[in-house]
Amino acid sequence: MDTNAWNAAVAFHGHACPGLAIGVRAALAARDHFAAARAEDEQLVCVCENDACGVDGIQAILGCTAGKGNLLFRLRGRQAFTFFERKSGRSLRLVLRADIPDLPRAEKIEWLLNAPEEAVFRRTAPRCGMPEPARLFRTCVCEVCGEPAAEYAMRLQDGRTVCLDCFSPYDRGW
């Protein structure tokens, strides 16, 4: 186990917990798989299938963040992480195994950080393709509330440009 990585993740997250250990372990596996350094831009992308504690381990160790556009969420309620290396096109999906031992908190953290990778995760094929790189969008002002928003999040309604919160979707129950 990489003690420096664990300590950095705990400092970032605020406390030690099994969920963080899952993310740290996934981040270390991805770092080793791709021989990757901390992402300064979008070289390494992570698609998380949850929005739980483990995501902070990904951010702290790999430098994948929502703000840079290389940390994306595809919420499926799974402890699963798909990593993409843009330059090579390679990918890695890690899914937490269903048969993780039920241990007291401190012992579970130790087990998650030190057990063989294959005991912690299953490697599977990605369930999504590599996301496109982040794009910059023009800012538009909502003609209802007056707040600015990115162009992709605007809608045309009754001849006016409106934000998603002011938009009234047309849904007839289909």
CATH level 3 topology of 136-174: Wheat Germ Agglutinin (Isolectin 2); domain 1 (3.30.60)
Instruction: Return d(Cα 35, Cα 33) in angstroms, integer.
Output: 6
Instruction: Return d(Cα 85, Cα 62) in angstroms, integer.
Output: 12
pLDDT at 116 over 90: yes
Q: Is the dihedral of CA 28, 30, 32, 37 positive or negative?
A: negative
pLDDT at 135 over 80: yes
- Band (pLDDT 50/70/90 cuts) for residue 173 is confident
What mean pLDDT, rounded, does the chain reach? 95
Long-range contacts of 7-13 (CB under 8 A, 24+ apart): 8/60, 8/61, 9/56, 9/57, 9/60, 9/61, 11/60, 12/56, 12/59, 12/60, 13/53, 13/56, 13/57, 13/60
pLDDT at 101 over 90: yes
Predicted confidence at residue 142, as pLDDT, reads 98
Predicted confidence at residue 174, as pLDDT, reads 66
- Band (pLDDT 50/70/90 cuts) for residue 52 is very high
Predicted confidence at residue 69, as pLDDT, reads 92
- Band (pLDDT 50/70/90 cuts) for residue 159 is very high
Domain locations in the chain?
3-124, 136-174
What's the rounded mean pLDDT across residues 140-151? 97
Predicted confidence at residue 170, as pLDDT, reads 86
**122-134 residue pLDDT tens:** 999 999 999 999 8
pLDDT at 39 over 70: yes
Predicted confidence at residue 27, as pLDDT, reads 97
CATH level 3 topology of 3-124: 60s Ribosomal Protein L30; Chain: A; (3.30.1330)
pTM: 0.87
Q: Which residue would you say has higher pLDDT here, 39 or 24?
A: 24
pLDDT-wise least confident of 110-124, 143-157, 160-174: 160-174
